[in-house]
Amino acid sequence: MSERETESPPLESDRPNEHATGTGSLGSKSAYFALFSQIGITLLVANLGGALLGRWVDSLLNSGPIFLIVGFIGGFVVGALGAAQIVARGLKQFDAQDAIEKAARLARRRAESEDKELR
């Protein structure tokens, strides 16, 4: 077996990535749409799940809508906490992407200034 066959393949390209795509390009409108969609779905599922669970408990106990209300409020709290975590994670990703872009711009400016000095 040759040395080349035993090496692991490179996971990243050697070429500079001028235009990031996928999850790395968080500044695009689609990233914001995905973030807000995820928040909305989290709130919907938590509220609906809490309300349905409360209604089910009410039907088992033959009680009024007390558990429905408690389930809805509990679902709202759980959904709000989940949405807060999603927002915090999204903001961290946006900040990280901004830092990467800022570092790339700084490196590009330094390279351009060095090229001008060599001329």
Asked if residue 13 is part of any domain, the answer here is no
- Give me the chain's average pLDDT, please: 81
Helix (H) or strand (E) holding 111: helix 66-118
Mean pLDDT of 106-110: 89
Asked if residue 53 is part of any domain, the answer here is yes
Please give the residue range of the domain that contains residue 100: 28-118
Q: How far apart are CA 66 and CA 72, in angstroms?
A: 10
Q: How many distinct structural domains can be found in the chain?
A: 1
Asked if residue 41 is part of any domain, the answer here is yes
Give the tens place of pLDDT for each residue, 19-69. 444 444 445 678 788 889 999 999 999 999 999 999 999 999 988 899 999
Q: How far apart are CA 36 and CA 79, in angstroms?
A: 13
Longest dimension (CA), the chain: 87
Give percent of the chain above pLDDT 70: 76
Q: How far apart are CA 21 and CA 28, in angstroms?
A: 10
